[in-house]
């Protein structure tokens, strides 16, 4: 499905990003994996190449820094000659009560989760051609409140708003811009969740289980595929039904 296509996935070293990179590589895409944690990123790139036979390049970057992002995009062009798919996945979710949040805490989460989507999408759109796809990873925290995550909820709400506005601006260039809003997904980033919390989550989820990175990757694969050519500005919720009630 993605033969001769090149995809950048941010935060691809582990968790949901790794699952997305693996799924796109299984579909035949060349992958540029951008992550802060270069040791894990390189190991993951080697693993995905072995599992899929697709080419994977690991690039160290901090998604909140414009200079790093410009190099990430350049790496796609230098290695593969084009950029067809951008997946804005890197994100952090440090729990902290609102009354204890510092300006630094706020800026860090907004920079990594939201400013990064601006930086990556703008740099990508400059080199993308007709039919290219931008998919950002939002969260159900953009629709419902979570205590201790006011900064995170704000950042993900920002992604939803930006997705709709950017979809309009990039429509003339025939670049689709969409987002996926995961529910509770089992990843290294969510490993701080206790067994008791997992039990509570499972009771709230109609599907009675936490999601897996593959559940999110499947939605991203659809949005990155030609099958989604007429879909733009949408936020697809993938949460086992959590937000239905
Ligand atoms: N896990 C969940 O339950 C869940 C739910 C909803 C949304 N999400 C979103 O999905 C995305 C991935 O989450 P995850 O659970 O896989 O996280 P994770 O912590 O397991 O993995 C995140 C990856 O991003 C990288 N990263 C972090 N900061 C970075 C930076 N500044 N620059 C580059 N790379 C950076 C990390 O090194 C790591 O490899 C995030 O945007 C998160 O908000 C996750």
Please give the model's pTM, rounded to 2 decimal places.
0.98
Cα 11 to averaged position of ligand 1 atoms, centre (Å): 6
Q: What is the pLDDT of residues 10-61, one digit of tens each?
A: 999 999 999 999 999 999 999 999 999 999 999 999 999 999 999 999 999 9
Cα 35 to averaged position of ligand 1 atoms, centre (Å): 10
Asked if residue 167 lies in contact with residue 237, where contact means CB atoms within 8 angstroms, the answer is no
| Closest-CA residue to 52 (of 182, 217, 190) | 217
Q: Is any atom of ligand 1 closer than 6 Å to the C-beta of 139?
A: yes
Listed in sequence order, the residues at least 6 apart from 212 whose beta carbon sits closer than 8 Å to its beta carbon are 19, 185, 186
Among protein residues, the one whose CA lies closest to atom 17 of ligand 1: 189
Q: How far is CA 9 from CA 83, 96, 207, in A?
A: 11, 28, 28
In the residue annotation, 152 being an active-site residue is answered as: yes
Cα 172 to averaged position of ligand 1 atoms, centre (Å): 31
Q: Which two tokens stand for residue 85?
A: 């798919």
* CA–CA dist 44, 48 (Å, integer): 6
Strands 235-238 and 85-88, sheet pairing: unpaired
Q: What is the pLDDT of residues 73-105, one digit of tens each?
A: 999 999 999 999 999 999 999 999 999 999 999
pLDDT value of position 242: 96
195 exposed, middle or buried (CB, 10 Å; 0-12, 13-18, 19+)? exposed
Which architecture does CATH list for 6-238?
3-Layer(aba) Sandwich (3.40)
Query: Which ligand 1 atom lies nearest to the CA of residue 188?
Result: 20
Residue 197 has pLDDT above 90, yes or no: no
Q: Is any atom of ligand 1 closer than 6 Å to the C-beta of 19?
A: no
Q: Which two tokens stand for residue 222?
A: 């659809």
Q: Is any atom of ligand 1 closer than 6 Å to the C-beta of 112?
A: yes
């Amino acid at each position: 499905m993605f033969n001769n296509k090149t995809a950048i996935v941010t935060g691809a070293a582990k968790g949901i990003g790794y699952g997305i990179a693996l799924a796109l590589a299984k579909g035949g895409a060349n992958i540029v994996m951008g992550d802060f944690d270069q040791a894990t990123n390189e190991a993951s790139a080697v693993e995905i190449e072995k599992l899929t036979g697709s080419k994977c390049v690991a690039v160290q970057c901090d998604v909140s820094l414009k200079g790093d992002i410009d190099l990430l995009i350049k790496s796609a062009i230098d290695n593969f000659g084009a950029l067809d798919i951008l997946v804005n996945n890197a994100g952090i979710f440090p729990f902290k009560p609102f009354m204890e949040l510092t300006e630094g805490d706020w800026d860090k989460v907004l920079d990594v989760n939201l400013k990064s989507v601006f930086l990556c999408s703008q740099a990508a759109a400059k080199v993308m051609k007709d039919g290219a796809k931008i998919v950002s990873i939002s969260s159900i925290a953009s629709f419902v409140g979570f205590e201790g995550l006011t900064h995170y909820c704000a950042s993900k709400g920002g992604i939803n708003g930006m997705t709709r506005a950017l979809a309009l601006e990039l429509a003339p260039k025939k670049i689709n811009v969409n987002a996926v809003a995961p529910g509770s997904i089992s990843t290294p980033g969510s490993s701080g969740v206790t067994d008791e919390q997992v039990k509570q989550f499972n009771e709230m989820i109609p599907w009675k289980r936490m999601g897996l990175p593959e559940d999110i990757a499947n939605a991203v694969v659809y949005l990155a595929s030609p099958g989604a050519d007429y879909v733009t500005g949408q936020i697809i919720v993938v949460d086992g039904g959590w937000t239905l009630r």
